[in-house]
Amino acid sequence: MAETVRCVRGILCNFRSFLHTEMLLALLVLHVVSPFYNTAAVEILRPRGVSLLHKPFYDESKPFTCLDGSATIPFDQVNDDYCDCKDGTDEPGTAACPNMKYYCSNKGFTPKTIPSSRVNDGICDCCDGTDEYSGLILCEDKCREMGAVELEQRRKQAEVINKGFQMRQNLVADGKQVRQDREAKLNALKEEKQVEETKKQEAQAAKEAAEAPEKEAVDKHKKAWEEVKAARELEKQKEAGTAAFAELDLDGDGLIKLEEFQTHLEFDDDVDGEVTEEEAKTHLGDVTEVDLDRFLTESWPKIKDLYQGEKDKAKAPPAEEPTKGDTDEPPSEDPVPPPTDEEEEREEEEEEERFEEDDNDDEVEDEDDDDDLDDDLDDDYPDEEEEPDVDMTKDEAKPDEDEMPEYDEETKQLIAAADQARAEYTEANKKVNDIDTQIRQLEKQLGTDFGPESEYSSLDGQCFELETKEYKYKLCPFDKCTQSPKHGGSETTLGRWEKWAGPEENKYIAMKYTKGQNCWNGPDRSTEVRMTCGIENKLLSASEPNRCEYVFDFETPAMCTQEVPTNPEFTHEEL
């Protein structure tokens, strides 16, 4: 039985060797016929699909041991299109084993590995064409052409990176200098604040010392003025009450009686057109009569706001007379009688005299027209510097009796001294507040992480914009991100600076902005800013991959952390 198996195995081996020989002859013919077909000479030096790095495992002088150690087979069974090893390592150059990888040398370009299932599938996966050696199709070697394009792109990219790196060096130097300047300024401001605080305390003490005598003098002056006003008001009320008493005392007997009081309808509480004895008695002070002294002390203070004297009645507006032709009002019972003949003649004579006087005035004006022409023009266009004459009457020139009189000279001096002290304190307090504001700003800047070498400090205080079809996006590093409609509308905050949010090994490749405006029926908006190397600070793109979560791409020289070769080459294991 064993011999039968070995015989069958031998037949298969011989058949595989025959196929292998025939395939090599076919490939040789194709190589001669087609100048575009590349058989990759390096592949002849080792089993097909194996890199030089793994060449030691494929020694043709001894049997091949599967890399997982599962079996050892004669070397001529490697790449015989039959999977002998469980890990498939005996078939790197065929599609026999599903898990195996085929190595493309791609000389002149970047080497790569592809699944072995793609070998001889009619598609050129390797740029050198070595994956399609069966001869079913002819693959042109495009590696050098593709390599030239790739190398040019890498060269340009290397130039950008290196230029950005040089710019970053300047940013680092500037950032460190800015930090040193801020620290020095902060220390200087703290020292200055101590000096200004002392001045402020001294100014406050001087202000309080100056305000004490000022307040005493001003209060004294105001108190005296209040007493004067109170005395004047008392005198006015006494005069008004005396006048009211005289008007109410109709019979002049020095007493106001109920029947006299009832003549004033303003005391008609129920507005029935009659002042009853009870109403009069209530306003008069529950008495039937009062003399002047009692009236002034008891009655007048109660009724002074209601009382309407003869002067008040005279000030009342006259009743409206009906217009001519108004049919709603009845005709007057006493029509005006027509003028007599004597009255008509007298009116005609007076009208003729007025007419003659008007004629005489017109003649005089005609004679003086030419002489007064310039004067009239001057009157129409007065000189701007001339001030109109103001005819101030004696009453207008008098000071208002209700206005408080000026302070005396001593009080004025105290007020002036207190004003000066207050002004000096205000100025000292303003200086301290200004210094505090600067200190807080510097402490905030010094507490912000501007990168391991302060290379991002130049971005602080700047904003960068990007316009799309619908929106205008704005990034203000270390402050906030915003979005506004391009064709008008309010600005929406997409997040405020929180922290650097890159991975632990390099957190400075991403920024995190949170606590933006709340989405309707959703979370607060937030933005991630992804940093890339570039030769300018520029906002490249803005998107919303998830609802209320935005992503900005931003390039800056600060991200160009190392130089690269300006003449890049492709690395091959063979080299």
Sign of CA dihedral 550, 555, 560, 564: positive
Q: What angle do CA 335, 337, 342 make, to 5 degrees?
A: 165
pLDDT more than 70, % of the chain: 75
- How are the residues of the chain apportioned to helix, strand and coil, as percentages rounded to the nearest 5? 50, 15, 40
Taking CB atoms within 8 Å and a gap of at least 24, the contacts of 238-241 are 238/296, 240/300, 240/304, 241/295, 241/296, 241/300, 241/304
Report the amino acid identity of residue 1: M
- H or E segment and range at residue 530: strand 526-533
Cα-Cα-Cα-Cα dihedral sign, residues 541, 544, 545, 549: positive
* pLDDT of amino acid 6: 33
**b/e code 178-190 from CB counts within 10 Å (16+ = b):** bbeebeeebeebe
Task: Tell me phi and psi for residue 368, to 5 degrees.
Answer: -100, 5
Name the nearest CA neighbour of 538 among 546, 526, 530.
Answer: 530
Name the least confident of 73-82, 86-95, 341-350.
341-350
* DSSP one-letter code for 135: S
Residue 379 in tokens: 């009157």
Q: Average pLDDT for residues 170-192, to the nearest whole number? A: 95
Whether the per-residue pLDDT at 438 is higher than 80: the answer is yes
Q: What is the mean pLDDT of residues 239-259?
A: 87
Nearest-angstrom CA–CA distance, 133 and 119: 8
Answer with the residue of higher pLDDT: 61 or 317: 61
Is the per-residue pLDDT at 250 higher than 60? yes
pLDDT digits (tens, 9 = 90+) for 211-248: 999 999 999 999 999 999 999 888 888 888 898 888 88
The confidence score (pLDDT) of residue 401 equals 72
pLDDT interval class at 384 (50, 70, 90): very low
**Torsion sign across C-alpha atoms 88, 89, 92, 94:** negative
Q: What is the rounded distance in angstroms from the CA atom of residue 32 to the CA atom of residue 497? A: 67
How much of the chain, in percent, has pLDDT values that exceed 90? 46
pLDDT at 209 over 90: yes
- 19 pLDDT above the threshold of 60: no
Q: Distance from CA of residue 440 to its chain's centroid?
A: 20
pLDDT band for position 361 (50/70/90)?
low
Cα distance between residue 101 and residue 467, in whole Å: 47
pLDDT digits (tens, 9 = 90+) for 464-499: 999 999 999 999 999 999 999 988 889 999 999 999
Q: Is the Cβ–Cβ distance between 429 and 200 less than 8 Å?
A: yes
Q: How many CB atoms lie within 10 A of CB 473?
A: 21
CATH code reported for the domain at 457-559: 2.70.130.10
Count Cα neighbours of 121 within 13 Å in the Cβ-side half-sphere. 15
pLDDT classification of 353: cutoffs 50, 70, 90: low
Contacts of 321 (CB under 8 A, 6+ apart): none
Q: Does the pLDDT at position 364 exceed 50?
A: no
- 460, pLDDT greater than 50: yes
Tell me if residue 451 falls in helix, strand or coil. Answer: coil
> What is the structure's pLDDT at 44?
47
User: Which two three-digit tokens encode residue 269?
Assistant: 């509480």
Identify the residue with better confidence: 488 or 375. 488
Containing 499, the helix (H) or strand (E) segment is strand 492-500
Domain locations in the chain? 194-312+406-447, 457-559
Quick check: 128 and 119 in contact, CB under 8 A? Answer: no
Tell me what the mean pLDDT of segment 198-219 comes to: 96
Residue 320 has pLDDT above 70, yes or no: no
End-to-end Cα spacing for the chain: 51
The whole-number pLDDT of residue 379 equals 46
Report the greatest alpha carbon distance in the chain. Answer: 175
Find the mean pLDDT for residues 367-396. 45
Mean pLDDT of 289-307: 86
Q: Picking from 38-47, 93-102, 453-462, which range would have the lowest pLDDT averaged per residue?
A: 38-47
Cα distances (angstroms) measured from residue 97 to each of 79, 91, 429: 10, 6, 86
Burial class for 384, CB neighbours closer than 10 Å (0-12, 13-18, 19+): exposed
pLDDT value of position 328: 47
Q: Which residue has the higher pLDDT, 209 or 372?
A: 209
Q: What is the pLDDT of residues 129-155, one digit of tens each?
A: 999 988 888 999 999 999 889 888 888
Which position has the higher pLDDT, 487 or 334? 487
- Identify the top-confidence range among 79-88, 255-264, 533-542: 533-542
Confidence of residue 295 (pLDDT cuts 50, 70, 90): confident
* Residue 235 CB partners (closer than 8 Å, separation 6+): none
Which secondary-structure segment (H or E) carries 569? Answer: none
280 pLDDT tier (thresholds 50, 70, 90): confident
pLDDT at 352: 61
Burial class (CB in 10 A: 0-12, 13-18, 19+), 107: buried
Return the pLDDT at 11.
Answer: 42
Mean pLDDT of the chain: 80
Q: Which residue has the higher pLDDT, 184 or 365?
A: 184
For CA atoms 21, 24, 26, 29, the dihedral sign is negative
Is residue 327 predicted with pLDDT exceeding 60? no
- How many Å apart are CA 567 and CA 505, to the nearest integer? 29
What is the per-residue pLDDT for 270?
86
Q: What integer pLDDT is reported at residue 18 of this predicted model?
A: 43
Alpha-carbon distances, residue 535 vs 157, 167, 253, 415, 494 (angstroms)? 11, 7, 110, 65, 26
Question: Which of 242, 298, 308 has the alpha carbon at shortest distance from 275?
Answer: 308
Indicate the helix (H) or strand (E) that contains 151: helix 143-248
